[in-house]
Amino acid sequence: MGDKVGRSTLFGIPVQQQWSWMNSGEDAPRYYLDTDAPLYYYSFTDAYIASEFNSLTEEEKKRFEPMITGFNPADMYAAEHIKRVLLTFPGVFSGIGEFSIHKEFVSSKIAGEVASLRNPALDTILSTAGEIGLVVILHNDISKPYPKAHTQSYLKEVWDLFKKHPEATTIWAHCGLGRVVAPVKDQVQFMVDMLDDPSLSHVYFDLSWDEVAKYIVSSDVAIAKVADMINKHPDRFLFGTDEVGPTDQEKYLKVYNMYEPLWKALDSSTKEKVLKGNFATLFDAAKTKVRAWEKANENVNLK
């Protein structure tokens, strides 16, 4: 991070790739597309993140916001997992996510019940996050990979879910975009409609990932549309890199540099909010609420 990055979320990948001998033999998969074996939810990731965070100095800790990810969003016990993690590692976590519901080729590889935006387990998770004060980072593709003319998007389901949970401060990861999930028709207008809906004032958008940046800076027209939207709603967007395990600062800052045309198109005050201010506002508020919940529940025995 050095002196070029201020604060960042910190979380583990919530799923682990199974190494199935019957599928790949001695060829241990290093990526989920390296094998046909399933993925599974990996709860140890939360303990690992907490351990690494607690090894930092107090000054170093101020730069990170650890997030809980090691739960199954199709499991009605997921909310209990979140509470257990908070009470086992008090003073560490301030949010949940990034966790995924519909994600291109990942969702179909996960063993067990498929996650859904309509699953009551997800409602319980979001209600719990709202009760405690946790920030939610949710990944849900706006549509399916390589959509055809008949393909139904997830727009209505996402909208309905967000509207159902005004108590949960929610960041929609990547604006719903991805590697093989391109912007839908009238994507910007759909986002503007969400931003202008007072019942969705708790919903924010992140601009992380090079797969998102490539669409936003693809043309002068795209840059102008997105910049106009952000300038008119400066409190609702956050920047992030979404770089997984960068080996040097140049790689870590790649996405930031990709967005240079967008930064130039934003008002100076808006740019400051997108890069730093909005993050601080959301997570400072979350930490205060979560620490208070932990204190109030420190003697609770979660079965």
Helices within 233-277 (DSSP H only): 249-252, 254-258, 260-265, 268-272
pLDDT tens-digit map of 245-301: 788 888 899 999 999 999 999 999 999 999 999 999 999 999 999 999 999 999 988
User: How far lies 300's CA from each of 67, 144, 164, 293, in Å?
Assistant: 22, 42, 28, 11
Give the torsion through C-alpha atoms of 124, 128, 129, 134, to 10 deg. -160
35: left (phi over 0), alpha (psi -120 to 50) or beta: beta
Distance between CA 62 and CA 7 in Å, rounded? 8
Of 177, 173, 160, nearest to 123 (Cα)? Answer: 160
DSSP character at residue 184: P
DSSP character at residue 89: S
Tokens 């939610």 correspond to: 136
**Once rounded to an integer, what is the mean pLDDT over residues 79-108?**
97
* Global pTM value: 0.96
Distance between CA 84 and CA 114 in Å, rounded? 24
pLDDT tens-digit map of 196-244: 999 999 999 999 999 999 999 999 999 999 999 999 999 999 999 998 8
Q: Which residue has the higher pLDDT, 300 or 50?
A: 50
- What domains can be seen in the chain, in order of their start residue? 8-296 (3.20.20)
The CB density around residue 45, as the number of other CB atoms within 10 Å, is 19
The CB density around residue 230, as the number of other CB atoms within 10 Å, is 24
The CB density around residue 59, as the number of other CB atoms within 10 Å, is 7
Helices within 199-248 (DSSP H only): 210-216, 220-232
pLDDT tens-digit map of 114-142: 999 999 999 999 999 999 999 999 999 99
Both structure tokens of 228: 């106009």
pLDDT exceeds 80 at position 2: no
DSSP assignment of 7-57 equals -EEE---SEEE---HHHHTT---SSGGG-SSPEEE-THHHHHHHHHHHTS-
Of 95, 85, 66, nearest to 297 (Cα)? Answer: 85
The dihedral sign for the CA sequence 264, 266, 267, 270: negative
- Residues 179, 148: contact at Cβ < 8 Å? no
pLDDT exceeds 70 at position 303: no
